[in-house]
Structure 1
Amino acid sequence: MRLPLTQGLLVGRATQSPVSTNTSITLPASQPAWAEPLSPNLAGFSIEMDRWPLWSGAEVGQPNSFTNQVLQNLADRTGVPPFFRVGADSEDRAHLDLSYQVMNATFPAPTADVPIPEASVISIGRDFYALSANLLSGTPFMWGINLKLGNLTDTVAQASLVADTFQGSRKDVTKNVKLVNLEIGNEPDFYSIQGTGYSSSWTPQNYSDTWREYASAVNKVIKLDNGGTTYSAGAFATFSSGLEWNTGVTLEAGIMADSDTRSKTSHFAEHQYSGAFGYGPTALPGQLMDKGTIRGNLSTKWADVKAARSTGLSFILGETNSYANHGMPGTSNTAEAAIWATDYILQAASMGIERLHFHHGFGYRYNLFQPAAGADDGLNLTSRAHILPSYHSFLIVNEAIGTSGKASVAELGTTNSSLSAYGIWENGNLARMVLINSAPYVSVNGTLPAARNSFSVNLANWKDGSNATVKRLAVPYTNAFTGLTWANQTFETESGKPEGTVYEEPLHNGVVSIDASSVALICFK
C-alpha cells in the first residue's frame, strides 16, 4: 500500500520498560468454547503485481527456485503451500495488451524514500497469469483485476484471460495450482482522494452498485461457484475511512443484493496496517510489537468480522503488514517485525479473521523475503535473494497450526504486559502453545544492555509425567537485521534451505523461561 499524500496514521504507545516478573498461565482443562478454527492458509502473501515475474520466474516453466524453496519451508509445516494474492495497487493500474508475451510496465523515477517505486502503468500480456503455474503445486491464488479505470470492457477482458488461463485453453498449464478467489478493484475507498476522476460522491453505495455491475459482467466469462473460484469483495484500505467505508456499511448498501453474485462470493476483505512510514514520528523500538498496540489496532476489526459472519461470509485481511508505504526502516526489516507478526497473526486468528495476506513488493522493507538480487531493503544483501527477519513469524505460526487441518486457537490470559500466550487445540486436546515476550532488548549505537531480561512462566495445571518440548525463536536483539534462528536452524542462506540441526529442549516441571524479544513454541506430546 502507498498512501495518498493527504492520509496518514501512526497508532502506538511509548516503548515499555521490560517486565521481568515471573508469571503463571493456567492450562485450560478443555478447549475453550470461543476457540476459533485455524486455516492452514492463515499466513498468506499479497504481491504487488508490477514485478510479478521476479517472484514467479520470468517465463512459464522457469520458476524462481529461491521463491519456491522459502515457500516449501512454510508448506512443510502445514502440509499446504501458502496462499498468494496478486494484484494490490497495481491491479488498478493495469490493462490488457496481448501484444506482450508476459507484461510491460512503466515506472516513475526512484526517490530516497521510495528507491523501488510501484509502476504507474502495467500492460498484461498473454502469459501473465500463467506464471502462477511456476509456484508450488497446490498453491491457491487470488488474482486482482482493474476497477478504478472504469473500463468495464477491459476488466471483463482481464477476467476472460484469467478464465482461459485457469479454466480454458491453458488449464493444463496451471492444473497444479488453484484459482480460489477473484478480486475486482483494490482499496476503492481511496479512489475519490487519489485524483483519478472520482469525486466525493463516490460512496459505499456507489461502490456497491458499481461492483455488482462489474461482477455481473464478469460472471459471464468465468466459472464461479462457492465450491470453486469465488469473489473476494471489499479490499478496503480503511486507513482513515473506516467509519464510512467498512464491511457492515457496504453490506447494508446492498453489495450482496444480487443473489447469483452472492452465491459466488465467499468472503469480505479489508486491509490493515499499524501506521505509515513518512507520516509522524519514527516508531520507537518495541512500539510495533507492543502487546496493547497490537490488540488496539486489531480491535477495530471486531465489528467487521461480525458483520461478514452475519451474512454467511468469512472475513480476511486481504492486505496487511507493519507500516504502510513499504515499511519503516529500522523496524519493519528487523527482528521486532518477526515478534510482532507472530502475535499479530495469532491475535487476528483468535478474533475469527480467517486469513491474512502480508503485502510484498520487490525491495519493500516489510517483506518476508526478496525474490531476487538488487533489493535495497536495509539488510545490505543486494547481491542476492534473501529472507528478512519477519519470515520467521510464518515459520512459527505454520508450525503452531500443524498439519492436521483440524487445529483451533484461543488466546490465554496472562498478567504480564509483555507476555502473549496462545493455545492450539486438535480434536479438543491442547497440542501446542505459543509464548511471545515482546519486551524490548535494544542495541543503541552498537551497545547492548548489560543483561537481557527474562522471566519464568509456570504452566498451572501441569500434570506430573507430562511430556513436552520447546522450540525457540532466538534473536540477537530487538533491532537486529540478521542472526535470527528458529529451533537452532538458520534460514538466512543463499538457497533458502535451512542449515543446522533442529533442537527441541525438554520442558521440565511445567516451567519455561523466556527472554525479552523472543518466542517459544511448546509442543505437548
Structure 2
Amino acid sequence: MLLFVFWSLWILDVATASITVYGQIPMGVTSALSATATVAAAYNTTVLNPPEVPDPGPATSFTLSIPSANTSVTKLSIPIKGTFYGFSVEMSVITQLFGKNSSYVQVPLLNLLANIQERAGAVHVRIGGNTQEYAYYVPTLDEGRAISKEKADTQNPTETPAVIYTMDLFYLLSNISSFVNVKWYIGKFELFSIRVPFNDTSDFRLQIVEYSEAVLGDNLLGVQVGKSLIYIHSHRNSSYNPQAYADEFGELIAALAADSNVPVKNNLIGPSVSGTWTPEMVWDTGFISEYTTNLGALSVEHYPTDNCFPIYGIGSYHDPQTEFSDFLNHTSGIALCEPYLNSTAIAQAAGKPFLMFETNSASCGGFPGISDSFGGALWALDYGLQMAYSNFSGAMLHVGGQNVFYNPFTAPPTNVSKYYEWTVGAVYYSALISAEVFGKTNTSQIVDLLGNDANIYTPQYAVYENGALARVALFNYITDPSGASDYTATITVSGGNAPASVQVKYFLSDSVSTKTNITWAGQTLGTIHEVDGRFKGTLDVVTIACNTGANTCLVPVPAPAFALVFLAAAPDITTATFSTSTYTNAAGTATVPASVLATSNGMLGMDETLWSTSAGSTENAAHGQLSVDFGLVFRVVAVLLVLLSGH
C-alpha cells in the first residue's frame, strides 16, 4: 500500500510538472484566492450602458468613390509605418511585465509583441514614466533584480517612488529584442516629464544614456529628455518657463557632448509638453533650429481627459457613464489631433518625426467600463488612424500596473501567477489592428474619407501602399442588436477597376460596452486571467465577391464593428510563439534551455511589493509570497513512509 502511495505521488508530481497550469485552479483553492486577483482596476468588471441609437441615425447604405492612385488624393498623410502604435511602459512595472532580470523573460509578453511584429515588422516600446524622474544606477540589487524602488516622493501627488536600476535592465531589454524585433525608447512621463533624470542640472546622471546605447545599440530609437510643468510637482518653481526649459536642454546637450561614453548624439526627443504649455511656446524659443542636430524626433503627450478625482481628489469628478458617449464618435479623434496640426507641419518642415509619446483614454488610470471596453478599443483605433492622418509618425499607448483600467496587457499578481494567466485590455487589439492597417512596407499613407455625409458614427479611411489603393477601414460606433443600424458601404474605385473580390477582417463584439467576446477575424486572445499571448479560435477572413462590371464592392458593417477591407488578398500571418508553462518558483516548472533563456511569471521582490506609479496606479499591486515546493514535500514524505515500512 505504501509503495502504491509512493508511486502515485511520484506520478502526480511528474504529471504536474509537465502540464500548463495557467488558468487552471487546482482542487482545494478557495474563492478567496480569486477575490485577491480581481479587486484591482485591471480586472474591474464594470459594464456601462451603451448610448442610445442616434435619432436620426446615419444612412445605412452609402457609396465611397475612392481614387485608385494616391496622386489623385488631395489630402494624404505622410508615409506611416506599421509600428505606428507602440507601448509606453511605466518603468516601475518592468519586472512585472518584462521579467525579473535578463535571465527571466515573461513569455506571454513575447507572444503579445510577436503578434504585432508579424503584422508590422517590429514593435516600438518606450520605458519611462514618473518613476524614471529620479531613477539612478547601482551596481547590483538583491536577488538579482534588474530594478527596485526607493521611498516615494512625498512632493508628488501620486507619491511616485524613484526607480533604482542595474546594468541588467538593459540586458533584459536586449534579450527581449533578441526574440522579438523590439526597438526601444528610453524615457519618462507625466504632467512634468523629465526624461533623462532632468531634475538635477549639476549632475545629469547620464548612465541611463550610456548603458542603453552600449547594450541596445541599433535597437535604441531615442532618449526622451522633455519636460512640462515640473513645478506642479515642486521640482521647478512656477516661474519655470519654456525658455528656461530650452536653456536647460542645451546644458544637457553640452554634457552629452563631453561624455565619450555616449557615441550617439542625435537621438534626443523633446519637448513632450503635456500641460498648459503648448508646443508652439517651445518652438518660439528657437528650440528646433538651435538643437536640430541633436533632435531625433519632436514629441508631445496628451490624454483626452482625466479620472484623477476618485483616487487623488484632484480636479473634478467625471462620471464614466456620462463620459462614455464622448469616446464613441469620430469627433473625438479629430478634436484631439487638431491642436497639433501646426506642430506636425513644423516637424515636417524640419525633417523630424512628430510623436505622441504617451496617451490613453484618461490620465490617472482611465475609466472603468470605458478604457477596457470594446467601445474604448474602437475609439483608440480611430484616434490612432486620425493621428496618422494628421501626420504624427507614431504614438505610444501607456501601460501601468494592476491598478489602472486602460492597460493593453497586465501580468497576474505574483501570488496567483501559478493559477492565472495574463489579461489583455481591449486597446491591445487597437494596436494590433493598426499594425495590419499600415502593414510592413513603411509606405502606407492614409486619408480620412469623410463619407456618408461625414457622419460621426460611421467614419472611414482609405490606405494607399506604394501609391496604390490597398485597404479601406470602416467603423460603426452604434450598438443596435436589432440590426437596423448595420450599414453597407459600396466601394467604387475611381480611375481603376474593382477587384473580383475583396477580403474583410472584422473586429466584433456584441456591444460597445462589452469586455468579453471580443474577436478579430474570428479569433480572441481570451478574457481576464486567461491570456498567454496566443490567439484562440479559427481565423475567419470573409471573402466578398465584387461586381467588376459595375465597379462596386458591397461591404456590410454590423453595429458595432470595425471592418478592414483588403483589395488584394489579406497577408498570411503565422506568428512564432513561445512556451507558457512556467512560473517563478521551481515546483513543477517546465524550463527553456539556457540558450533560449529561462522564463518567469512575475516579479517576486521589489522589496516584496509590486507597485505601479503611473497616475492612478499607486495601490499595492501584489506582495511576494513564500513558495513551497509541494512536489518535493510529497517525495520526501513518500520516501520516509517507505523506509519506515521496511520496504
TM bucket normalised to smaller: 0.7 to 0.9
Identity of aligned residues (%): 20
Check conservation: 2:82, 2:119, Cα contact below 8 A.
no
Of 28, 34, 42, 2:84 maps to 42
Q: CA deviation at 1:412?
A: 1.1
2:492 counterpart residue number = 460
Deviations 1:356-397 (A, max 9, x none): 011111222111111343699xxxx99331211111112211
AA at the equivalent of 1:264: N
1:334 equivalent to 2:373? Answer: yes
Q: State the partner residue of 2:563.
A: 520
Deviations along 1:193-225, one digit per CA (max 9) or x if unpaired, are: 2223x1121000000000110122123231225
Which residue matches 2:264?
224
Q: Does 1:215 align with 2:253?
A: yes
What pairs up with 1:282-321 in 2 under 5 angstroms? 282-283=319-320, 284=322, 285-321=324-360
C-alpha offsets along residues 46-95 of structure 1, whole Å, 9 cap, x if unaligned?
Answer: 01101212222111132110001011111111222x10111122221322
Q: 1:476 to 1:152 in 2, by over 3 A?
A: farther
The one-character-per-residue Cα deviations of 1:160-209 (angstroms, maximum 9, x if unpaired) are: 33344335xxxxxxxxx701101124xx222122223x112100000000
- 1:500, CA displacement in angstroms? 1.8
| Amino acid aligned to 1:254 | G
- SS of the equivalent of 2:283 reads helix
Number of the residue aligned with 1:140: 183
Deviation of residue 413 (structure 1)? 2.0
Shift of 1:308: 2.2
Deviation at 1:151, TM superposition (A): 4.6
1:495 to 513, 532, 542: 532
- Give the 3 Å change call, closer, same or farther, for CA 382–204 of structure 1 in structure 2: farther
Give the counterpart of 1:162 among 206, 212, 218: 212
Measure, in 1, the Cα distance between the counterparts of 2:335 and 2:352: 24
Structure 1 residue aligned with 2:234: 195
The amino acid that maps onto 1:486 is W
1:23 matched residue in structure 2: 62
Residue 71 to residue 335, structure 1, CA distance change in 2 (3 Å): same
- 1:272 maps onto 2:302 in alignment: yes
Report the alpha carbon displacement of residue 340 of structure 1 after superposing the two structures with TM.
0.5
Secondary structure, aligned partner of 1:180:
strand
Q: Which has the larger radius of gyration?
A: 2
Say whether 1:131 aligns with 2:169: no
Name the structure 1 match of 2:604.
none
Number of the residue aligned with 1:105: 149
Q: Is the 8 A contact 1:27 1:460 kept in 2?
A: yes
1:77 to 119, 123, 128: 119
Aligned match for 2:293, one of 237, 247, 263: 263
Contact 2:198/2:225 (8 A) holds in 1: no
Decide whether the 8 Å contact of 2:89 with 2:127 is kept in 1: yes
**How many residue pairs align between the two structures?**
472
Retained in 2: the 8 A contact 1:473–1:487? yes
Per-residue CA shift, 1:225-276, capped at 9, x if unaligned?
55xxx111111113xx1xxx23332122133454xx5213121100121110
CA drift at 1:501: 1.9
**TM-score w.r.t. structure 2 length?**
0.68
SS at structure 2 position matched to 1:343? helix
Q: Does the alignment pair 1:481 with 2:524?
A: no
Q: CA deviation at 1:464?
A: 5.8
Question: CA contact under 8 A between 1:374 and 1:383: conserved in structure 2?
Answer: no
When you count helix as a share of all residues, which structure comes out higher? Answer: 2
Deviation at 1:156, TM superposition (A): 2.1
Change (3 A) 1:136 1:440: farther
Q: TM-score, normalised by structure 1?
A: 0.84
What secondary structure sits across from 1:418 in the alignment?
A: coil
Q: Is the 8 A contact 1:349 1:409 kept in 2?
A: yes
2:505 alignment partner, one of 456, 468, 471: 471
Q: Which residues of structure 1 form unaligned runs of 5+?
A: 1-13, 168-176, 442-448
Q: Distance in 1 between matches of 2:478 and 2:499?
A: 32
Name the residue aligned to 2:363.
Answer: 324
Q: What are the Cα deviations for residues 112-137 of structure 1, in whole angstroms up to 9, with x where unaligned? A: xx9xx774222122312222123243
Does the 8 A contact of 1:286 with 1:478 survive in 2?
no
The runs of 5 or more residues in structure 2 that have no matched partner are: 1-50, 188-194, 310-315, 547-552, 569-647
Q: Does the 8 Å CA contact 1:15/1:286 hold for their aligned counterparts?
A: no
Name the CA distance, whole Å, in 1 between partners of 2:414 and 2:304. Answer: 27
Q: Please state how far the C-alpha of 1:300 moved relative to its aligned partner.
A: 1.2
* Alpha-carbon distance in 2 for matches of 1:332, 1:421: 22
Q: CA deviation at 1:20?
A: 4.6
Which residue in the other structure is 1:444 paired with? none
Aligned pair in 2 of structure 1 residues 255, 152: CA closer, same or farther (>3 Å)? farther
Distance in 1 between the 2:391 and 2:415 partners? 35
1:249 matched to which residue of 2? 281
Q: Please tell me whether residue 388 in structure 1 is matched to residue 430 in structure 2.
A: no
- Looking at structure 2, the residues matched to 318 and 339 of structure 1 have their Cα atoms a distance apart, in angstroms, of 20
Q: Greater relative contact order: 1 or 2 (C-alpha under 8 angstroms, separation 6 or more)?
A: 2
What is the CA–CA distance in structure 1 between the aligned matches of 2:483 and 2:479, rounded to whole Å?
12
Residue equivalent to 2:41: none
- Check 1:263–1:486 CA distance in 2 against 1; reply closer, same or farther (3 A cut): same
Contact 2:213 2:264 in 1 (8 A): no
Given the superposition, is the C-alpha separation of residues 417 and 262 from structure 1 closer, same or farther in structure 2, using an over 3 Å criterion? closer
